Amino acid sequence: MEGPIVIAALTLIAVAVHHLIRKCSLPLPPCPPQTIIGGHYNIFPQQQAFLTFTRWARTYGPIFHLRLFNRYTIVLNSGKVALDLLESRSSIYSERPYSVFINKIQERSLSVFSMSLHHPRFRVYRKMMHSGLGPRAVQSYHPLQIQETNILLKALADTPKEFIPHLRRNAGALILKVTYGYEVSGNYDTFIQLVERAFKLQASIIGRPFPVEFFPFLRFLPSWFPFTEFKQAAEKLREVRPEEWPFQWSKRLIDSGEYVDSFVSRFLRPEDGKLPGDEDMDILKWCAAALYIGGADTTVSAMTSFVYLMVTNPEVQMRAQADIDQVTKGDRLPTPDDEAALPYITAVIKEILRWGPVVPLGLRHSVTQDDIYNGFRIPKGSTVIGNVWAMTHDPELYPDPERFNPDRHLGEDAQMDPFKFVFGFGRRVCPGSYLAERSLFLNIANILAVFSLGKETDGDGRVLEPPTEWYGGTTSHLKPFPCAIKLRVPNLLPP
User: What's the CA angle centered on 368, arms 362 and 373, to 5 degrees?
Assistant: 75
Burial class (CB in 10 A: 0-12, 13-18, 19+), 77: buried
430 is in an annotated binding site: yes
Burial class (CB in 10 A: 0-12, 13-18, 19+), 449: buried
Q: What is the DSSP string of 241-282?
A: -TTTHHHHHHHHHHHHT-----HHHHHHS-TT-----HHHHH
Is 179 within 8 Å of 435 (Cβ atoms)? no
**Could you give the 3-state DSSP secondary structure of residue 473?**
coil
State how far the Cα of 101 lies from the Cα of 216, in Å rounded to an integer. 9
Q: Nearest Cα to 101, choosing from 256, 250, 238?
A: 238
CB atoms within 10 A of CB 312: 18
Maximum Cα interatomic distance, the chain, rounded to a whole number of Å? 97
State how far the Cα of 303 lies from the Cα of 479, in Å rounded to an integer. 13
Q: Quote the distance between the C-alpha of residue 215 and its chain's center.
A: 29
Is 114 within 8 Å of 103 (Cβ atoms)? yes
> How many residues are listed for the chain in this entry?
495
Q: Which residues are annotated as a binding site for heme?
A: 430
Binding site: what residues are annotated?
Answer: 430
